[in-house]
Amino acid sequence: MAETADKKTKKETQKAKEAVQIETGAIEADEVNTFTPEEIARMLKVKSEIEKGRYSDVTDEHKKLLFVQWMIDHGKLNS
């Protein structure tokens, strides 16, 4: 079974509490043109794959938990 979020190490917890500075402002035109044609092609391919549903942030374990929750909600399994 996978680790739970409660079993974080001290270092992970401390790292999560650190503030992250985000730089804001206008994007210069030369900053946008820093990608090579190959990199742009790969990014467009990944974007297309995401739109087609081939990539997902939902892990297999999360899908199983959602299924178990559905089974409980529909009386197929008792909690």
In whole angstroms, give the CA distance from residue 56 to residue 66: 15
Q: Is 7 contained in some domain?
A: no
* In contact, 79 and 69? CB cutoff 8 Å: no
Number of domains comprising the chain? 1
Domain span holding position 32 = 25-79
In whole angstroms, give the CA distance from residue 9 to residue 58: 24
Q: Is 31 contained in some domain?
A: yes
Q: Is 48 contained in some domain?
A: yes
Largest Cα–Cα distance in the chain?
A: 60
In whole angstroms, give the CA distance from residue 43 to residue 37: 10
Q: What is the pLDDT of residues 17-38, one digit of tens each?
A: 555 565 667 666 665 668 888 9
Q: What is the pLDDT of residues 37-68, one digit of tens each?
A: 898 899 999 889 888 888 777 888 999 999 99
